[in-house]
Amino acid sequence: MFTDYVKIYIKAGNGGNGCVSFRREKYVAKGGPDGGDGGRGGNVVFQADQGKDTLLDFRYRRKYVAENGGNGAGAKFHGKNGEDLVIRVPKGTVIRDAATGKVIKDISDDEPFVCLHGGKGGWGNKHFATPTRQIPRFAKNGIEGPEKEVILELKMIADVGLIGMPSVGKSSLLSVISAAKPKIADYHFTTLSPNLGVVPVDGGAFVCADIPGLIEGASDGLGLGHDFLRHIDRCRLLLHIVDVSQSEGRNVVDDLKTIDSELQKYSAELASRPQIVVANKTDALDREITDVEAFEAYVRETGRDLAYISAATGEGVETLVRTVKNELDKLPPLTVYETEYTEEDDIKPDQTPTVTVTKNGDVWEVEGAWLYRLMGRINFDDRESMAYFDTMLRKFGIYDQMEAQGVCDGDLVSLYGFEYEYVK
């Protein structure tokens, strides 16, 4: 079964809790606090897998949770960091946020992508010892790992897409020009899922995708084509295959118009991609049945190139392959979808984040669910990450809320154990 669209739930691991502990050792006076920090929660990582060509693995398992960080222990023992959860997907998988539909990442290369960062571990009580607080009997809990529902949508990475009505010879052509072995039979919808083939030419190669036959109404969900049109979204060149022999009893010009119309309804941008009309089955061509002049006139009218071939006998196939290679050399590279999703999309328009601000001695403690989740994504050792953190606090009014509660310049502020001097 071919699966190319699924929705799954992912969650990064929670950070481990810090430990409250004191050093008690013979002959060591005033040992002091020695509670260790909690470990970091595991990240959720997506990685392209060359051996996969479908999302079938996600059909029956929809929940993916990374390992939590271990709790800290005495003797300043740091909790174990949670193992990253690596989710392997086919190359060409587009990850979208389920709530907004925005693209989070296009997995089109071999680089791993960290989709969710694990929560940070809490500080042990060793961090809270001061000259006036020598016996801190408290530690911080780890930060909860973020969670999200995402949509995985497979858009095959192919340079060339074969499109056309059923039984026009798309699979036959793919089997001739590549090592792919699609199922070929004399009935409609023999091809039930897209097939990929690598086509060698002049010391190089290009990737060709055979898309199951389209029919009239495919853009409205009829037939199989609508389910797989996404797989030609990346294609730089489309080969529009037609049965010039009209062996199915259909008119060749009407076939062209039908597929053109369905492409336009699905995506105007896709319909505008460069196309070569490939007239297949020339070995069975009968000019008394097919009005070749009217067919060629229509192709010229639409501004497309025309090639005659016979996938059955091989006539014209080699010339077609070289023509395709020459056209690809002139075209821009494969489409890679840009990231649209930002961390700000986690906040709904009607959800203004709020925090509680309390004063504990000389320290202002600021807490809140949104702030807690945000801190789980921040690397406090990285300057850019800290700048982003400052921008988010300012943009969503956290500083305004703090100042309204009395926080002033030079005051010491603690955000879940992260202490700094407040500056307007």
**Same domain? 302 vs 184:** yes
Query: pLDDT (tens digit, 9 = 90+) per residue, 218-264?
Result: 445 544 455 667 777 788 899 999 999 988 888 999 989 988 888 88
Q: What Å distances lie between residue 371 and 72, 309, 382, CA to CA? A: 23, 64, 18
Give residue 404's domain range.
348-424
CB contact at 8 A, 142 and 15: yes
Query: pLDDT tens across 398-418, in order?
Result: 898 899 998 888 889 988 878
Residue 3 has pLDDT above 80, yes or no: no
C-alpha 392/C-alpha 344 separation (Å) is 8
| Beta carbons of 154 and 88 less than 8 angstroms apart | no
Same domain, 296 and 266: yes
Same domain? For 229 and 317 the reply is yes
Assess whether 12 and 148 both reside in one domain.
yes
Same domain, 122 and 175: no
Q: What whole-number distance in Å separates Cα of residue 70 and Cα of residue 38?
A: 6
Out of 157, 184, 201, a domain closes at: 157
In a domain, 343, yes or no: no
Q: Residues 166, 302: one domain?
A: yes
Chain center to CA of 212 = 24
Helix then strand then coil, % of the chain, to nearest 5: 25, 25, 50
What per-residue confidence (pLDDT) applies to 420? 85
| Number of structural domains the chain divides into | 3
Mean pLDDT lowest among 89-98, 129-138, 203-212, 324-333: 129-138
Together in a domain, 106 and 212: no
Task: Quick: pLDDT tens for 283-304.
Answer: 888 888 888 999 999 999 999 9
Based on DSSP, count helices (H) and strands (E) in the chain, helices before strands.
9, 18
Q: What is the domain-level CATH number for residue 227?
A: 3.40.50.300
Beta bridge partners of 356: 367
Structure confidence at residue 409 (pLDDT): 87
Find all residues with CB under 8 Å of 294, minimum gap 6, and list them: 253
Q: Residue 347's pLDDT is what?
A: 60
The predicted model gives 167-196 an average pLDDT of 71
Q: What stretches of 292-411 adopt beta strand conformation (E)?
A: 305-308, 356-360, 363-367
Residue 341, domain member (yes or no)? no
CB contact burial 298-307 (16+ within 10 A = b; e otherwise): bbeeeebebb
Of the pLDDT bands very low, low, confident and very high (cuts 50, 70, 90), residue 306 is very high
Query: Which domain CATH number covers 112?
Result: 2.70.210.12
Looking at residue 139, its amino acid is A
Residues 6+ apart with CB under 8 A from 122: 15, 16, 17, 18, 37, 38, 72, 139, 140, 141, 142, 143, 417
> Is 80 contained in some domain?
yes
Which of 347, 351, 356, 348 lies closest to 398 in space, CA to CA? 356
- Domain stop point among 131, 157, 183: 157
Is pLDDT of 279 > 70?
Answer: yes
Neighbours of 111 (CB within 10 A): 8
Q: Which of 105, 123, 157 is the last residue of a domain?
A: 157
What is the average pLDDT score of the chain? 84
- Is 201 found in the same domain as 143? no
- By residue count, the chain amounts to 424
**pLDDT above 90: residue 171:** no
Structure tokens at 395: 């943009």
Whether residue 164 is found in the same domain as residue 231: yes
Question: What angle, rounded to 10 degrees, do the helices at 292-301 and 252-266 form?
Answer: 30
> Pairing relation of β-strands 237-243 and 356-360?
unpaired
135 and 244 share one domain = no
pLDDT given for residue 213 in this prediction: 58
Q: 123 and 2, same structural domain? A: yes
Instruction: Report d(CA 359, CA 142) in Å as an integer.
Output: 22
Q: Give residue 339's pLDDT.
A: 86
- Reply yes or no on whether the pLDDT at 106 is more than 80: yes
Least Cα distance to 416 among 13, 133, 121 occurs for 121
The CA angle 164-170-174, to the nearest 5 degrees, is 145
- 319 shares a domain with 172: yes
